[in-house]
Amino acid sequence: MTRRKSSKKDVLRKVEAMFTENPDYVRQLLQGLCQDIMEEERTQYLKAGSCERTAERQGYRTGYKPRTLKRFI
């Protein structure tokens, strides 16, 4: 089975369709990325994962507070 190679125009058309169908796509993508980065930083700082008990643990995790990422342009 051979796979057809996408042309540059096909790729650009697909990307444009993603943004047209969901204008908040970039915001949602960045929100998820930021959340993952902060979660990893917290795990490294505490030296323990969520609900994990270890001898090296450095503190506690608290709950989440929903917030909106504000941009300054």
This prediction's pTM: 0.55
Q: Give the pLDDT of residue 37.
A: 92
Instruction: Name which of 34, 58, 35, 64 is nearest 46 in CA terms.
Output: 58
Tokens of 49: 């994962």
Q: Which domain holds residue 26?
A: 8-46
Q: Give the pLDDT of residue 66.
A: 76
Among left, alpha and beta (phi > 0; psi -120 to 50; other), residue 34 is alpha
Q: Give the pLDDT of residue 4.
A: 63
Q: How would you write the pLDDT of the chain (73 residues) with one tens digit per residue?
A: 555 667 888 888 888 888 788 878 878 888 889 889 988 998 888 888 877 888 888 777 776 677 777 776 5
Domain count, the chain: 1
Does residue 64 sit within a domain? no
Q: Give the pLDDT of residue 25.
A: 80
